[in-house]
Structure 1
Amino acid sequence: MTNLPAIPFARSDPLEVPAAYRELREKEGIARVRTSVGDEVWLVTGYEQARSLFTDSRLGRSHPEPERAARVSNSVLLGGPQGEVATEKADHERLRKLFTPAFSARRMRRLAGHVGSLVEERLDHLAGLTPPADLHAELSFPLPVLVICRLLGVPYEDREYFSGLSAGMADLRDEAAGQAARAELSAYMAGLIERKRREPAEDVLSDLAGELDDDGKIAELAAGLLFAGHETTVNRIDYGVLLLLANPGQLALLRADPALAPAAVEEILRMAVPSLHGLPRYAHEDIEIDGRTIRRGEAVVLNPGPANRDERVYPDPDTFVIGRPPTDPHLAFGYGPRFCVGASLARVELEAVFGRLFQRFPGLSLAVPLAELPRNEGRLTQGFARLPVTW
């Protein structure tokens, strides 16, 4: 097919999801589209269809014939297939079992006090600056990095180095550069793991070193954890601030009652869409869904951002509403067996920020128009390079 829509669809407002996603969903449901690298895939933007396919064991991250797999982009992380069909399920279950204790809700609740103290420290620092200041550099970036460094056992003073490598890993256009960045970050983590074997501590890297024998595999996993543990949360803090500033009535509710922070965070997670890239899956056998047949080997792109704006599930889905009546849970962390292992950690960090930020700085506002905020173009996680604010 030659006249397929090309994804990702362009957007003029970073806080919105392009209407083209909804129009395509209404017209075709699960639709054939063309990716940025020219390959044909199935695009899933309906909430119920996405939730169903998240749990479908016939879809995987691996491909029966990897060399023939369609690609979403040139990203080394989410551009194409990963793993082996024969071992994917067992590998995934083993890793979930390994990581779940480290990121359990109970452990995260114990971490909440420490995270709250870190937020207070960052806000104290911000209060000592002369506005305007870059909230991204002073809060959104350092907080998740501080937390993930403590949790994993990574030196915080190395943050600029590994953040640069993370940015390289997130490159959507240059696969070779992304591979090189991932290899360098894995080598860095391998050095830390070697140190943990000699001097174990109470951190996740020490736990992994004690459970696995393959240091190369541990380093690769740890590099992925370090990347995911700060990149996505950084963006969600930035987007949460912007969504609240864009909805002053809802912000007034939160400012008056910081106990609403958990509800505000869930609405931020539902509505914040830093990236429209989507999550690739590959059919390991034929799948019938929504009147369509996904053939073995075909690619499916699950896109939680547009799915979280599905008007069939969320009334008035493009409106930011704290305390939105409970319906089905948003898909910001995925769903089912591949539900994000770091979801509890992200919630702890976001609730700590949004339970305090606007209490401490009730007059916080953007120092430049939203349209002038510089974005991280060409990156998997996108987001903003700076967030100038005043108060």
Structure 2
Amino acid sequence: MATQMSRTTTPAGFPAWLVTDYQTVRALLSDPRLGLTHPAPELAARLSDSVVFGRAQQARPTDGIDHTRMRRLLSQWFSARRLADYRPRVEQLVDGLLDELAASGSPADFHRVVSFPLPALVISDLLGVPFEHRDRFRAWSDEAADMRDQARSEHGSTELAAYIADMVALRLREDTDDLLSDLVAAHRVDPEGFTLDKVVALGMTLLFAGHETTVTAIDAGAVLLATHPDQRAQLTARAELMPTAVEEILRGSLPRTSYFATPDPADVGGALPRWANTDLDIGGVTIQEGEMVLLGLAHANVDPHLVGDHQGFDVTREANRHLTFGHGKHFCAGAPLARLELDVLFARVVQRFPGLTLAVPLNELEPRDNLLTGGLNALPVTW
């Protein structure tokens, strides 16, 4: 299949190349000629006005070491063995939220009762931050993810960083059994290489990404199950299909996928920004050093090369090599945790709420278009 690439304009008003076919997007995700850095980040094209994503970074001599350290630290927490041990805790959290959903009566806002609280509970648990602070860090995360208001994004990012810095200061005085304490322990081993600023930055990233993106995936899963009763019935009858259903939900969870409708060819929602660190050829087009290249994950996830002739929701789909978590060395380190949350949650949803359906027409759901992570403002359901 030929490379599908076009010129586009980012939400921040900068020119960029948008690549949308599956094979090229997948290859470029691990192409070392594209990266997250730029020799002059302040002059580089940017995706949006958010300060937490979509802006080029300054290259540093320690980037490779920092990345390797981060992967090593997180791999211990997101290993198969550790998550298997953690599964009963996720089950406990899910059961509590679904009890609350049932008690609230039908219709109810699935987003408010389940989608937001579950990832916030889980990441709070792992990081060791108080869950009762969830409304604060959720508000700051939403501010930081604002694509249209830079001042608001800067405020949210600053508040999140200050909050994590306070949590890190507590760990410096007294260790606890949580991920933040492990990061502080790594700092003590190499205080010059893994500075406290780097500890705070990584902790902030985990708090932000660990709940915001999973909220969006849970919203997507609830919508897909509520609008596809035939697929939901298969899951009710065959519990062993849940892992493939989770991959389908993830495939359709990126912003602006409209739950598997083909995105507009120029839509950059769900795209990952990269910058060329040298001149390179993509599909016969020369990309100049420093130019922005957007890797259209949402487009790639519905490409016929990946899904064949059946683009829609299919809980039996095998070999679902979607790109929601990326590919290559920047593959999302928290992917196993997100999969665990979705697997536990929706296995219980289809059994406890077999008649789940939307309480409003699909086109009346309000997307959070101003946020990088997408998702919904509310998700009214009935059962």
TM-score, with length taken from structure 1 = 0.89
- Call closer, same or farther: CA 1:270–1:123 in 2, change over 3 Å: same
Partner of 2:359: 367
1:314 matched to 2:289? The reply is no
CA contact (8 A) 1:75 1:175 kept: yes
The partner residue of 1:65 within 6, 24, 40 is 40
Q: Partners in 2 of 1:357 and 1:371 — Cα distance?
A: 23
Identity %: 47
Residues 1:231 and 2:208 are matched in the alignment:
no
Aligned AA (2:371): R
C-alpha separation between the residues in 2 aligned to 1:220 and 1:243?
Answer: 34
Q: CA deviation at 1:162?
A: 0.5
2:234 is the alignment partner of 1:253: yes
Q: Which residue in the other structure is 1:161 paired with?
A: 136
Structure 2 counterpart of 1:308, which letter?
N
On the 8 A contact 1:170/1:178 being kept in 2, the answer is yes
Partner in structure 2 of residue 242 of structure 1: 223
1:261-276 paired onto structure 2 within 5 Å? 261-275=242-256, 276=269
Deviates more, 1:129-138 or 1:315-324: 315-324
Q: 1: CA distance between counterparts of 2:15 and 2:251?
A: 28
Alignment check: 8 A CA contact 2:38 2:44 kept: yes
**Would the aligned equivalents of 1:78 and 1:279 in 2 still touch at CA under 8 Å?**
no
Pairwise CA distance, 1:82: 2.1
Secondary structure at the aligned position of 1:33 is classed as: strand
Describe the superposition over 1:64-120 as per-residue Cα deviations: whole angstroms up to 9, x where unpaired: 222321111112122210242544333322322222212223222221121112111
Give the letter for the 2:303 counterpart.
D
Q: Partners in 1 of 2:253 and 2:226 — Cα distance?
A: 13
Secondary structure of 2:82 counterpart:
helix
Give matches, 1:319-330, under 5 Å: 319-326=312-319, 329-330=321-322
Does structure 1 residue 200 correspond to structure 2 residue 175? yes
Decide which moves more: 337-346 or 252-261.
252-261
Q: Does 1:136 align with 2:128?
A: no
2:7 corresponds to which of 22, 29, 32: 32
Secondary structure of the corresponding residue to residue 193 of structure 1:
helix
Aligned to 2:289: 296
Aligned partner of 1:42 among 7, 11, 17: 17
Map 1:325-344 → 2, pairs under 5 A:
325-326=318-319, 329-344=321-336
CA gap 1:35/1:317 in 2 versus in 1, 3 angstroms: farther
CA contact (8 A) 2:54 2:273 kept: yes
For 1:20, the equivalent position in structure 2 comes to none
Give distance in 1, aligned partners of 2:4 and 2:368.
30
Write the deviation string for residues 120-169 of structure 1: whole angstroms up to 9, x where unpaired: 11111222122211111111111111110001111000000000000001
Of stretches 371-380 and 201-210 in structure 1, the one that deviates more from structure 2 is: 371-380
Instruction: Report the 3-state secondary structure (helix = DSSP H, G, I; strand = E; otherwise coil) of the residue aligned with 1:122.
Output: helix
Secondary structure (helix, strand or coil) at the match of 2:76 reads coil
Compared CA separation, residues 108 and 316, structure 1 to 2 (3 A): same
Separation in structure 1 between the aligned mates of residue 281 and residue 25 of structure 2, nearest angstrom: 14
Kept in 2: contact 1:310–1:317 (CA 8 A)? no
Measure the CA separation in 1 of the matches of 2:270 and 2:318. 28
Q: Tell me which amino acid in the other structure corresponds to 1:79.
A: G
CA contact (8 A) 1:73 1:79 kept: yes
Q: What is the number of residues matched between the two proteins?
A: 365
C-alpha displacement of 1:223: 1.1
Displacement of 1:49 in angstroms is: 0.6
**Superposed displacement of residue 379, structure 1:** 0.9
1:182 counterpart (141, 145, 157): 157
Mark the CA change 1:83 to 1:352 in structure 2 (over 3 Å): closer, same or farther.
farther
Tell me the TM-score normalized by structure 2: 0.91
Tell me the alpha carbon deviations over residues 258-315 of structure 1, each in whole angstroms, 9 at most, x when there is no partner. Answer: 2211110011111222351411111111222222222211111112111011112321
CA RMSD, 1 decimal: 1.7
In the alignment, does 2:373 pair up with 1:381? yes
Take 1:63 and 1:101, find their aligned partners in 2: how far apart are those partners? 31
Paired with 1:192 and 1:297, the residues of 2 have a C-alpha distance of: 37
Instruction: Assess if the C-alpha contact under 8 Å between 1:50 and 1:303 holds in 2.
Output: yes
Is the 8 Å Cα contact of residues 64 and 85 (structure 1) preserved in structure 2? no
Residue 262 of structure 2 corresponds to none
Kept in 1: contact 2:147–2:372 (CA 8 A) = yes
Show structure 1 runs of 5+ residues with no match. Answer: 1-24
Tell me whether 161-170 or 113-122 shows the greater mean CA deviation. 113-122
Instruction: Measure, in 2, the Cα distance between the counterparts of 1:252 and 1:200.
Output: 47
